[in-house]
Amino acid sequence: MAPTPPERTEAVLTRFPSLAPLLARGALLSPFRRPDPSAAHPRTRLVLPGLRPDPAELAAYAKVCGFPAAADTLPVTYPHVLGFPLAMRLMSARDFPLPLLGLVHTSISVTRHRATPSAAFYDLTVYVDGLAPHRRGTEAAVVTELRSGDELVWESRSTYLARHSTTYSEGPERTGDHPGLPAVEEWRLPGDLGRRYGAASGDRNPIHLHPLTARLFGFPRAIAHGMWTVARCLAAHGVPDAAGVRAEFRAPVLLPGTVTYAADGGRFALRGGRGRIHLTGEVTSL
């Protein structure tokens, strides 16, 4: 019989963690990680109460992702950005078993239960939900929740893959490639897009910033943030106040580059040259 996992503890924060030292600590600890789906993982729920989104930061994010600048509601992907520093604190901690360097964001699912006014106060919670085997290694799930008082108004679940050799052959279910979706728009992405999104979101992973730092991790050029690609698609698609979103990141988008946004009904995709699929997703009204 497997041992019972320890109970979750709750840590209440008074401010956002500083990202730079967290990223540095995660990078330094990465070579010592030994990924294993049966490994222990952080059991702490980080909570930041009384949060009100900063209007200037929100405007910068909306601009780089293509959301309306003067909207009264948070962009559907913005709570993920708010939770990112808390997620980094958990994933850079000594008890997180996967290496932060090289960790790949593979999917995100979002449920927005109702409209989330941009001027409201919220309580933000982030925790690691568990580890699972993957055909390419070990995957961690990170949950982010946004509450207004006692009401859960927004939640997401992201999966992050640490690639390593494994005998596990089954993979998680994937949404279709949406090969028949009609093209809607073509987007030309500038070489500095990663730096612009990094400044707006706080995610300054070196693979997104410059060709030289991206090459250190095996990429010929800088790549776009996965969360920028899904945010840009959802800005073009539109999302009801109460909605579910599911997106899977398939292949990196090199910068500069040209991509095609395709959509039909609730489904959408981002395609590159020669039919390469970068992202697939779906929006459902609740």
Q: Residue 171's pLDDT is what?
A: 55
Q: In which band, very low, low, confident or very high, does the pLDDT at 3 lie, cut at 50, 70 and 90?
A: low
**pLDDT over 80 (residue 184):** yes
**pLDDT over 50 (residue 1):** no
**pLDDT over 50 (residue 23):** yes
CA distance 35 to 284: 34
Averaged pLDDT for residues 129-146: 93
Averaged pLDDT for residues 114-141: 94
Most confident of 77-86, 133-142, 198-207: 77-86
Q: In which band, very low, low, confident or very high, does the pLDDT at 5 lie, cut at 50, 70 and 90?
A: low
Q: Residue 286's pLDDT is what?
A: 93
Most confident of 25-29, 153-157, 174-178: 153-157
Q: In which band, very low, low, confident or very high, does the pLDDT at 180 lie, cut at 50, 70 and 90?
A: confident
Q: In which band, very low, low, confident or very high, does the pLDDT at 168 lie, cut at 50, 70 and 90?
A: low
- 210-225 per-position pLDDT tens digit: 999 888 878 899 999 9
pTM for this prediction: 0.92
Q: Residue 177's pLDDT is what?
A: 55
Closest by Cα among 142, 159, 279 to 223: 279
Q: Is the C-alpha dihedral spanning 180, 183, 186, 187 positive or negative?
A: negative
Q: Residue 284's pLDDT is what?
A: 98
Averaged pLDDT for residues 87-105: 92
Q: Which residue has the tokens 């995610």?
A: 203
- CA distance between the termini of the chain: 39
Q: In which band, very low, low, confident or very high, does the pLDDT at 174 lie, cut at 50, 70 and 90?
A: low
Q: In which band, very low, low, confident or very high, does the pLDDT at 2 lie, cut at 50, 70 and 90?
A: low
Q: What percentage of residues in the chain have a pLDDT greater than 90?
A: 74
Whole-number average pLDDT of the chain: 91
Q: Residue 274's pLDDT is what?
A: 83
**pLDDT over 70 (residue 161):** yes
- 25-55 per-position pLDDT tens digit: 998 999 989 888 999 999 999 999 999 999 9
Q: Residue 165's pLDDT is what?
A: 79
**pLDDT over 50 (residue 258):** yes
Question: What are the C-alpha distances in Å from 266 to residues 100, 117, 140, 181, 243?
Answer: 33, 24, 27, 11, 11
Q: Residue 104's pLDDT is what?
A: 86
Q: Residue 197's pLDDT is what?
A: 95
